[in-house]
C-alpha cells in the first residue's frame, strides 16, 4: 500500500469508476473493492493531515436522509462529506410520519429538487434504497436498510481487517450473533468472501436465516454454520460480535439475555480459543456484558475504535468515487 | 339479442366430450347450436378460426373484482373486461369487498352490476363470516338463495377451527363448498414473501410453507369430520400438495386450485436481476399471498395439476392501484393482476411438454366447474355441448406478445411480467353468443 493515488490525482490516471450507486457489495468485483479500499487508504492520509480537508467535492450537495436513529453512521457520513468540502443537508425523518413509499419517493425528489446530487439513506425497511435508486436521478448510498445491507460498514470492516492481516485469502472470520436480522452480517458475507476469506456464522437457529443457500449464483455466499461458540472460534483470525437487539426476546427468538450471554458472549476464555492475536470487532453500538464482555471489548485484540475512525475514510472514498460515477 | 355466429375452421377442443378436431361451432340465441365439420356453412356472421384453438370459454373460480368499495383498484366492469381479454367467460368474485359480500343485497348488487357490464358471467362467492371477521357465520342460506355459489373469507383464512367446522356442516346442508385461504397467521408472522434463500438474501421477513401446510392439514381433518366440501384456494407449497394427494386417495371431499403465477414463477421474481444497474428488484409486483415459492414447490404444483391432484387453474386476479405497489416492499399490497396473462403463463407448461393442450383446457374450463359443482347453477358451463351457453374462447397457442400493463383492460397494472415476452394469445372471446373481445 505504498503507491495509493492521492485524491488529487487527475481522474484520467485512475481506473474507470462507473458505478452511480452503492446499494450493497453483492455485485462488487474484487477489483472494485480494491479500488474503494485503496481510495480509502488515501483518505486516511488526508485525515491524518493537520487540516484534514480536501476540496474534492466543493459545490456538491449531499443529502443524509435517515429514517432510523443513528449517531455513528450519520455523523460519520457528515464528517466525510465535510472533509471533502461538500455541502450537507441532514434530514431525520420521523418513522411515524412516513408510512408510504410514495412519500419516501416524494421526500427524495424534494431533496433532489433543492440540488442534492448524492443521497445517503438509512431506512428500517429492506430494499428502500433500491426503490429510491429507481425513482430519482441522484446517486444513492445505502447507509443501512432493514435486515438487508450496510455496505459502508462492511467496507470499513474490510479496511480494518486488511490493515492488520494484509491478504485475507483463506483467513477464518467468525461472525457471532443475530445474523438473521443483521445487515452488517449480510454485507460482510459478500465483501469478505469476495476477497477470499472463509466465513463461519455462529448463532442459535432462531437467529439464523431458515434457508441460506440454493443452487443459484444469486444466493448468499457459502458459509459454515456452527451453533457452538467454542468450536466456531477454533482457528479464528477475526471475531466479529453483532449487537443483540432486545426485541428479539419479545419475538420469542430467545429465552433471556442471561442465557444468550451464557451461550454466545465473547469473553476472554473463549477468545483464547481463536488464533493468537485474532482481531475483535463489533459494528456498534455494543451491549457490553451481553454479546461481548467489557474486558474483550476494550482489550488488546479489540479494533472496535479503529473501525469507527476507518468509517470516515471509507465514506469519504465512497462519496468521492460516486460523485465521479455521477459525473460531478 | 345475441345473433347467430359461426366459428369456422378452428381446432375445436372440448375436454368434456373429448372432441379434438378441426370443426365449426354454430352459436344461436346464446347457446351452442351445432358442432361439427361444416356446421357453420352458410352462416352470414362468420369468425374465421383457422389456425386457432377453439375452446369452451374459460372459467375462473377465484378473482377479486374489488367492487363494491375499492373501485380505484377495479370495478366489475373493468374486471370482467379483463376477463374477456383473457378468454374467461365466467368468473367467481371473491367477497373481500367493502362491504364484504356477506348479505343477499350485496350478492344481488354484484349480479346486477355484472349483468349491466355484460362482459362475462359473474358468480359471486359469499363470505363465510359476517364482515369476514371470522367470528360469526354469515347468513349462508340467504347468500345462496341470492346467487352465491360458494363461501369464502378469502384474503384471510377461516382462522377459527370451530367456525370452520360449523361452516362446513352448514354449507353441506346447502350443497355448497367452503373455499379456504390456508394461512396460519401466527406462523406466517408478518412474512412478506416466501421464507427461503431469496428472503434470506434480501433481508425480508419470510412466510414459511408450513404456514399454509398446517392449515391445509386442519381443513382436510375437518372435511373428514364433517363431510363438508373444502376447496383449497391457490395452493403453493409442495407439502400442501402431499396432504391433498393423501386426502384424495382417501376419497375425502377436498378439491383445490393453483394459480398461473405459482405454476410459472418462483420467489426469484422478487429478486430480479442483480446485474441491473439499479440493483436488486425488490419487485413489489411479485409480492402476492400465498407467496411465490421455491422451485421444488413450483414443480410440485405443475405435477399436481398435470396428474389431476389439483383440479384446476384459478387466477386469484388481485388488481391494485399504482400507489398500492409503488412503495417499500413491506408496505406494498399483496396481489397480481392475472386475468390477462393467465393463458400464456399456463401455456408455458404445454410448450414445455408438462401437460397436453386438451388437459390444460380442461383445467381452465370443465374441471373448475366440476370442482365447485357449478352444474347445479348453470347447465353446460365449461363445455361445448349442444344447448350449453355460447361461451367460446379462440386463441393462438404460439403467438408471442410482450406484456405491457398499460394496455391491460384491468385497472390493476400490477404484474411482475411487464416487458416479458409470453407465448399464447387470446384472439377472441364470445360470451353468451356475443363477441366481448375481438383481438383479430
For residue B404, what pLDDT band results from cuts at 50, 70 and 90? Answer: very high
Q: Global pTM?
A: 0.94
Contact between A127 and B329 using a beta-carbon 8 Å cutoff: yes
Sign, CA dihedral B265-B269-B273-B278, equals: positive
Q: What is the pLDDT of residue B196?
A: 96
In a domain, B228, yes or no: yes
Distance of CA B246 to the CA centre of its chain: 24
Ranges assigned E (strand) in A191-272? 198-202, 224-225, 238-241
Residues A200, A138 share a domain: no
State the best of B204, B205, B271, B280 to mutate against chain A, taking most chain A CBs within 10 Å.
Answer: B280
Q: Residue A83 class from Cβ within 10 Å (0-12 exposed, 13-18 middle, 19+ buried)? A: buried
The 10s digit of each residue's pLDDT in A47-70 is 999 999 999 999 999 999 999 888
Q: Is A154 on the interface with B (CB under 8 A)?
A: no
Does B237 lie at the interface with A, CB-CB under 8 angstroms? no
Q: Kindly state whether residue A244 falls inside one of the protein's structural domains.
A: yes
Q: Minimal Cα distance from B201: which residue of A?
A: A220
Those of residues 296-315 in A touching chain B at CB distance below 8 A are none
Between vectors from CA A112 to CA B330 and to CA A39, what angle results, nearest 5°?
Answer: 90
Chain B: residue whose CA lies nearest to A29: B275
* Alpha carbon of B336: minimum distance to chain A alpha carbons (Å): 19
Residues A287 and A215 in one domain: yes
Q: Note whether B202 contacts A: Cβ–Cβ < 8 A.
A: yes
Judgement on whether residues A19 and A141 belong to the same structural domain of the protein: yes
Residues on chain B touching A216 (C-beta within 8 angstroms): 197, 268
CB A264 within 8 A of CB A291: yes
CA distance B315 to chain A (A): 27
Report d(CA A63, CA A80) in Å as an integer: 12
The percentage of chain B sitting over the pLDDT mark of 70, rounded to a whole number, equals: 98
C-alpha cell at A213: 443457500
A211 vs B96 pLDDT, higher one:
B96
Residue A87 forms beta bridges with which residues? A61
Q: Is B38 contained in some domain?
A: no
Cell digits of residue B382: 365449461
Query: Hey, is the C-beta of B329 within 8 angstroms of any chain A C-beta?
Result: yes
Q: From CA B209, how far away is CA A211, in angstroms rounded?
A: 12
Same domain, A49 and A180: no
The answer to whether position A238 is within a domain reads yes
Q: Which set of grid coordinates corresponds to residue B249?
A: 386417495
CB contact under 8 A, B274 and A218: yes
Residue B3 lies in a domain: no
A3 assigned to some structural domain: no
The answer to whether position B190 is within a domain reads yes
Which residues from B are below 8 Å from A25, CB to CB? none
Domain at B195, CATH number:
3.20.20.140
The ipTM value here is 0.92
**How many Å lie between the alpha carbon of A36 and the closest alpha carbon of chain B?**
18
Tell me if B327 and A102 make a contact (CB, 8 A cut-off): yes
Lowest mean pLDDT segment, chosen from A13-27, A31-45, A176-190, B409-423: A13-27
| pLDDT grade for A94, boundaries at 50, 70 and 90 | low
Residue A5 falls inside a structural domain:
no
Range of the domain at B153: 57-383+410-415
Q: Do A275 and A247 share a domain, yes or no?
A: yes
Instruction: Give the cell for residue A135.
Output: 425513482
For residue A6, being part of any structural domain is answered with no
Residue A232 forms part of a structural domain: yes
A248 vs B: CB within 8 A: no
Contact A212 B329 (CB under 8 A): no
Q: B274–A27: do the CB atoms touch at under 8 Å?
A: yes
Tell me how many domains chain B contains: 1
Alpha-carbon distance A243 to A181, whole Å? 10
Judge if A138 and A190 occupy the same domain: no
Closest partner residue to B200 among A21, A133, A209, by Cβ? A209
Helix (H) or strand (E) segment spanning residue A269? helix A268-271
Helix, strand, coil fractions of chain A, as percent rounded to 5? 40, 15, 45
> pLDDT averaged over chain B?
96
* A130 part of contact set with chain B, CB < 8 Å: yes
Beta-sheet pairing, B392-402 with B421-431: antiparallel
Question: Is A183 strand, coil or helix?
Answer: helix
C-alpha cell at A105: 419517493
Q: Which of A27, A100, A214 sits opposite B197 (nearest CB)?
A: A214
Confidence at residue B12, expressed as pLDDT on a 0 to 100 scale = 98
- Among A299, A252, A265, A264, which Cα is nearest to A280's? A299
| B192 shares contact with chain A (CB less than 8 Å) | no
Residues A161, A241: one domain? yes
pLDDT band at A14 (very low <50, low <70, confident <90, very high): low
Beta bridge partners of B10: B23
A131 Cβ under 8 Å from any chain B Cβ: yes
For position A206, which CATH number holds?
A: 3.40.50.1370
- Nearest CA distance, B293 vs chain A (angstrom): 13
Q: Residue A82 sits in which domain range?
A: 11-146+309-325
B278 vs A130, A183, A214: nearest CB: A130
- Out of A23, A149, A210, closest to residue B206 by CB: A210
Q: Which residues on adjacent β-strands are paired with residue A238? A: A173, A279
Search chain A and give the residue with CA nearest B284.
A131
Q: Are residues A67 and A140 in the same domain?
A: yes
Residue in A124, A179, A116, A190 with CA at minimum distance from that of residue A152: A190
Judgement on whether residues A242 and A164 belong to the same structural domain of the protein? yes
B440 alpha-carbon distance from chain centroid: 25
How far apart CA B437 and CA B433 sit, in angstroms, is 12
Q: CA B225 → CA A308, B211, B382, distances in Å?
A: 63, 22, 31
pLDDT one-digit tens code per residue, A296-322: 999 999 999 999 999 999 999 999 999
Report which of B11, B29, B31 is spatially closest to residue B19, judged by C-alpha positions. Answer: B11
Assess whether pLDDT exceeds 80 at residue B248.
yes
pLDDT band at B376 (very low <50, low <70, confident <90, very high): confident
The answer to whether residue A102 scores a pLDDT higher than 60 is no
Cβ contact A239:A278 at 8 Å:
yes
pLDDT at A291 over 60: yes
Inter-chain touch A211–B200, beta carbons under 8 Å: yes
Quickly state the pLDDT bin for A97 (edges 50, 70, 90): low
Give residue A201's Cα distance to chain centre. 17
List, as one string, the DSSP characters of B192-239.
-EESSHHHHHHT--EE-THHHHHHHHHHHHHHHHH---EEE-S---HH
Interface check for B330 against chain A (CB to CB < 8 A): the answer is yes
- Interface with chain B: mutation pick from A23, A106, A218, highest number of B CBs within 10 Å: A218
As for how many domains chain A has, the answer is: 2
Check pLDDT > 70 for residue A124. yes
pLDDT for residue A100 is more than 70: no
**Residue B228 contacts residue A173 (beta carbons within 8 Å):** no
Q: Is residue B185 in a domain?
A: yes
Which tens digit of pLDDT belongs to each residue from B265-318? 999 999 987 566 667 899 999 999 999 999 999 999 999 999 999 999 999 999
pLDDT of residue B275: 64
Q: Using a pLDDT cut of 90, give the percent of chain A over it.
A: 81
- Compute the C-alpha angle A258/A260/A261, nearest 5°: 65
pLDDT the model gives residue B375? 83
Cite the active site residues of B.
316
Distance of alpha carbon A101 from alpha carbon B96, whole angstroms:
24
A178 touches B at CB < 8 Å: no
Amino acid at each position: 500500500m505504498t503507491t495509493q493515488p492521492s485524491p488529487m490525482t487527475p481522474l484520467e490516471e485512475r481506473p474507470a469508476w462507473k458505478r452511480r450507486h452503492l446499494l450493497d457489495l453483492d455485485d462488487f468485483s474484487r477489483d472494485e473493492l480494491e479500488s474503494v479500499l485503496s481510495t480509502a487508504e488515501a483518505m486516511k492520509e488526508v485525515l491524518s493531515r493537520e487540516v484534514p480537508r480536501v476540496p474534492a467535492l466543493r459545490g456538491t450537495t449531499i443529502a443524509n436522509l435517515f429514517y432510523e436513529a443513528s449517531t455513528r453512521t450519520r455523523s460519520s457520513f457528515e464528517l466525510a462529506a465535510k472533509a471533502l468540502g461538500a455541502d450537507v443537508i441532514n434530514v431525520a425523518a420521523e418513522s411515524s410520519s412516513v408510512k408510504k413509499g410514495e412519500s419516501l419517493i416524494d421526500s427524495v425528489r424534494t431533496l433532489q429538487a433543492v440540488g442534492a446530487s448524492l443521497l445517503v439513506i438509512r431506512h428500517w425497511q429492506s430494499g428502500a434504497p433500491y426503490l429510491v435508486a429507481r425513482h430519482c436521478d441522484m446517486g444513492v448510498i445505502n447507509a443501512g436498510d432493514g435486515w438487508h445491507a450496510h455496505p459502508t460498514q462492511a467496507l470499513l470492516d474490510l479496511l480494518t481487517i486488511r490493515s492488520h492481516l494484509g491478504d485475507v485469502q483463506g483467513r477464518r472470520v467468525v461472525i457471532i450473533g443475530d445474523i438473521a436480522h443483521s445487515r452488517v452480517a449480510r454485507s460482510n458475507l459478500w465483501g469478505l468472501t469476495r476477497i477470499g476469506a472463509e466465513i463461519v456464522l455462529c448463532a442459535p437457529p432462531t437467529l439464523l436465516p431458515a434457508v441460506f443457500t440454493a443452487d443459484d449464483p444469486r444466493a448468499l455466499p457459502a458459509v459454515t454454520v456452527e451453533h457452538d461458540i467454542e468450536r466456531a472460534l477454533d482457528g479464528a483470525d477475526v471475531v466479529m460480535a453483532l449487537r443483540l437487539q432486545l426485541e428479539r426476546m419479545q419475538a420469542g427468538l430467545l429465552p433471556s439475555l442471561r442465557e444468550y450471554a451464557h451461550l454466545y458472549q465473547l469473553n476472554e476464555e473463549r477468545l483464547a480459543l481463536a488464533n493468537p492475536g485474532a482481531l475483535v470487532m463489533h459494528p456498534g453500538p455494543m451491549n457490553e456484558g451481553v454479546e461481548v464482555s467489557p474486558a474483550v471489548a476494550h482489550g488488546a485484540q479489540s479494533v472496535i475504535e479503529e473501525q469507527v475512525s476507518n468509517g470516515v475514510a471509507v465514506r469519504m472514498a465512497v462519496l468521492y468515487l460516486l460523485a465521479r460515477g455521477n459525473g460531478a | 339479442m345475441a345473433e347467430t355466429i359461426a366459428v369456422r375452421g378452428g381446432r375445436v377442443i372440448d375436454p368434456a366430450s373429448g372432441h379434438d378436431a378441426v370443426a365449426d361451432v354454430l352459436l344461436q340465441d346464446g347457446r351452442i347450436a351445432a358442432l361439427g365439420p361444416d356446421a357453420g356453412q352458410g352462416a352470414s356472421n362468420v369468425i374465421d378460426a383457422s389456425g386457432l384453438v377453439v375452446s369452451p370459454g374459460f372459467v375462473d373460480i377465484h378473482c377479486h373484482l374489488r367492487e363494491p368499495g375499492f373501485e380505484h383498484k377495479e370495478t366489475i366492469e373493468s374486471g370482467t373486461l379483463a376477463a374477456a381479454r383473457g378468454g374467461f367467460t365466467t368468473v367467481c368474485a371473491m367477497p373481500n369487498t367493502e362491504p364484504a359480500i356477506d348479505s343477499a343485497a350485496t350478492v344481488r348488487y354484484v349480479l346486477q352490476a355484472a349483468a349491466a357490464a355484460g362482459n362475462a358471467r359473474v358468480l359471486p362467492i359469499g363470505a363465510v363470516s359476517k364482515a369476514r371477521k371470522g367470528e360469526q357465520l354469515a347468513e349462508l342460506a340467504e347468500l345462496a338463495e341470492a346467487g352465491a355459489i360458494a363461501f369464502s373469507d378469502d384474503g384471510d383464512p377461516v382462522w377459527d377451527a370451530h367456525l370452520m367446522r360449523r361452516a362446513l356442516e352448514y354449507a353441506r346442508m346447502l350443497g355448497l363448498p367452503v373455499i379456504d385461504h390456508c394461512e396460519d397467521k401466527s406462523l406466517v408472522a408478518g412474512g412478506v414473501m416466501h421464507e427461503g434463500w431469496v428472503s434470506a438474501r434480501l433481508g425480508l421477513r419470510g412466510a414459511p410453507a408450513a404456514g399454509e401446510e398446517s392449515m391445509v392439514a386442519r381443513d382436510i381433518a375437518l372435511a373428514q369430520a364433517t363431510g363438508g366440501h373444502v376447496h383449497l384456494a391457490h395452493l403453493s407449497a409442495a407439502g400442501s400438495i402431499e396432504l391433498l394427494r393423501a386426502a384424495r386417495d382417501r376419497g375425502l371431499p377436498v378439491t383445490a386450485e393453483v394459480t398461473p403465477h405459482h405454476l410459472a414463477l418462483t420467489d426469484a421474481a422478487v429478486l430480479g436481476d442483480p446485474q441491473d444497474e439499479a440493483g436488486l428488484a425488490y419487485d413489489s409486483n411479485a409480492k402476492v399471498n400465498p407467496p411465490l415459492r421455491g422451485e421444488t414447490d413450483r414443480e410440485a404444483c405443475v405435477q399436481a395439476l398435470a396428474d389431476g391432484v389439483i383440479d384446476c387453474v384459478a387466477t386469484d386476479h388481485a388488481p391494485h392501484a399504482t400507489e398500492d405497489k409503488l412503495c417499500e416492499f413491506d408496505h406494498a399490497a399483496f396481489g397480481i393482476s392475472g386475468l390477462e396473462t393467465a393463458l400464456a403463463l399456463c401455456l408455458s407448461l404445454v410448450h414445455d411438454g408438462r401437460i397436453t393442450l386438451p388437459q390444460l383446457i380442461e383445467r381452465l374450463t370443465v374441471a373448475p366447474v366440476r370442482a365447485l359443482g357449478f352444474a347445479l347453477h348453470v347447465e353446460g358451463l365449461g363445455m361445448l355441448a349442444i344447448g350449453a351457453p355460447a361461451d367460446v374462447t379462440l386463441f393462438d397457442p404460439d403467438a408471442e406478445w410482450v406484456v405491457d400493463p398499460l394496455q391491460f383492460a384491468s385497472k390493476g397494472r400490477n404484474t411482475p411480467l411487464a416487458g416479458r415476452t409470453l407465448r399464447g394469445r387470446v384472439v377472441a372471446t364470445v360470451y353468451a353468443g356475443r363477441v366481448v373481445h375481438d383481438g383479430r
